Chain A
């Protein structure tokens, strides 16, 4: 297994200058992130998500434990050579325009002028800012700043992307565009580590999810592993002869009438065909067959409330 980021027993205690125990933001966090995967770290406020990202990026230092990025310890700045980072609210030198911004960050990676110009063209087109490349960043909307932030995170063509709340504060259109870009980057094989409070977005984008609470890793795995494969099957139908409901009750685990529709639920796949045959025989209209599963949100609330007890 090819590991992109390896976090080993990472602990961070914020100490007060006046002494005392301090605040434990991370508690022996260990996590391996595989190359090419998209993983989200989720958790309530103060769970240690941003602290983890800041340690990986060398902005703050761990109290104990360590981490490496592509095999290089995060204690050296070289570990960040192949990393792109989009902060939660990208604050830039706002007297610059997008071109100047990308040029500067490209220089920090030691890219030659020709490479910088090429990357600038590609990235401004990718994030849809090519037309506004010479507008000072202070005149950008929040969504445009976020897209400029993504462009600067990609300037070195990184193998690993660290995105902190990439859609925070964006309108639905902006959030959709950002998700589309992340999906595109994922298809290009980038390793993406993102922190987000938007669980539907996490479900939509990520291969794996790590749930943090009070600095501890509470759960980690793919959605399938965490939520499990549901055995429930729901059949939604309408119409049919009068005796259809009693007949269905004979086959299904439960039958309900909701807004003029009949919702029958079963755990047995064999029963599904019998229910469908019954609907046909009783002249009912089959509307849809669903396999509902608990959402990530339900799982998240369960994990966090268990931890709180």
Chain B
């Protein structure tokens, strides 16, 4: 735990130092960069939502929601809890899937198809391109998560008379978790091919989902090299467990604000570090 804390503090100090040293360039860059990022994000959103794969995933999500309704109809006693828990599971799972596929087909596909030539040959900084792509991807995932949450809440109100406030909160926090995860996959996508990005994305997701378990494993290891390595790996992989409040939403327990705040602070820091690393890696990439 102490090691993790040290890694986070060092990362925060590095980010702060970079901000202080390059404050003038950053101010000038942001003046030009923010509109560029917004434009690239808009284009990414417009382009991605027209992709067939996304339309297939949305269709799949609709089918799964219908399937869940069938299951709750078969088990009327547990229907509300199952619908909340299963629905949030579905939102998170599909959000992660969409995020992996979008990232895999954003920068690597732009390079493969050479669509990147006509963008980077304009007065666009590499970091603007990376950050724009990230926010564009996030907007698409947000659209998907929003639609699914809305459908779930309508079904809950219509069929179960279940309060939906907690479902909305848990869904929102889950979306934030997906944003953190997307930033990690984005780093890989700046240097890897589409296939490698997909594989890395699934690995990050699997390891990220068992972070809570890995903490207790690390705590039981008696010092030494393996503990350090595991600690570093654990710090690098996104802690997706911080954004899982399914049980609270299903059991109608209040979501602890302090945990949400910690998750937000961790997430903002993690996303910032990932985007800085992704921009630095992509800056050197020859396309």
Contacts and interface: CB of A to CB of B under 8 A. Distances in A.
> Which of B43, B114, B115, B123 counts the most chain A CB atoms within 10 A?
B123
A87 B117 contact: yes
A93 B121 contact: no
A79 B125 CA distance: 11
Nearest to B283: A61
Size class of the contact patch on chain B: 20 to 34
Contacts of B119: 108
Given A60-B286, A61-B286, A85-B121, A91 B43 contact: no
A239 interface: no
Contacts of A77: 122-125
Nearest to A100: B46
B24 interface: no
A88 to B, nearest CB: 9
Contacts of A89: 114
Contact of A93 (B36, B43, B122): B43
Contact of B123 (A61, A78, A104): A78
A117 B253 CA distance: 54
Given A93-B47, A96-B47, A110-B35, A59 B117 contact: yes
Nearest to A101: B118
B123 A81 contact: yes
B123 A108 contact: yes
B224 to A, nearest CB: 33
A80 interface: yes
Interface string A20-35: 0000000000000000
B120 interface: yes
A105 B123 contact: no
Contact of A58 (B36, B39, B47, B120): B120
A87 B43 CA distance: 20
Contacts of A85: 117-118, 121
A93 B51 CA distance: 11
A87 B114 contact: yes
Interface string A101-142: 000110111100000000000000000000000000000000
Interface in B24-39: 35-36, 39
B287 A60 contact: yes
B118 A59 contact: no
Given A59-B287, A80-B123, A81-B123, A87 B47 contact: no
B128 to A, nearest CB: 9
Given A95-B47, A104-B39, A110-B35, A57 B120 contact: yes
Nearest to B113: A91
A80 B115 contact: no
A144 B119 CA distance: 20
B120 A59 contact: yes
Interface in B125-147: 125
A95 B113 CA distance: 14
A61 B286 CA distance: 7
Contacts of A81: 123
Given A95-B47, A96-B47, A107-B39, A58 B121 contact: yes
A57 B113 CA distance: 17
B118 A152 contact: yes
Contacts of B47: 93, 95-96
A108 B158 CA distance: 46
Contacts of B220: none
A108 B36 contact: yes
Contact of A80 (B114, B122, B287): B122
A90 B118 contact: yes
A87 B120 CA distance: 12
A156 B123 CA distance: 11
A95 B48 CA distance: 10
A108 B124 contact: yes
Interface string A279-296: 000000000000000000
Interface string B132-169: 00000000000000000000000000000000000000
A231 B116 CA distance: 50
A59 B286 contact: yes
A104 B119 CA distance: 10
A176 interface: no
B166 to A, nearest CB: 38
Interface string A46-64: 0000000000011111000
A62 to B, nearest CB: 11
Nearest to B284: A61
A195 B187 CA distance: 35
Contacts of A198: none
Across the A-B interface, give the 5 residue pairs with the lowest CB-CB distance, nearest first. A60-B286, A57-B121, A85-B121, A95-B50, A108-B122
Interface of B: 35-36, 39-40, 42-43, 46-47, 50-51, 113-125, 284, 286-287
30 contacts: A57-B120, A58-B120, A58-B121, A59-B117, A59-B121, A59-B286, A60-B287, A61-B284, A77-B125, A79-B123, A80-B121, A80-B122, A85-B118, A85-B121, A87-B117, A90-B118, A91-B113, A91-B117, A95-B47, A95-B51, A96-B47, A104-B43, A107-B42, A108-B40, A108-B119, A109-B122, A110-B35, A149-B118, A156-B122, A162-B121
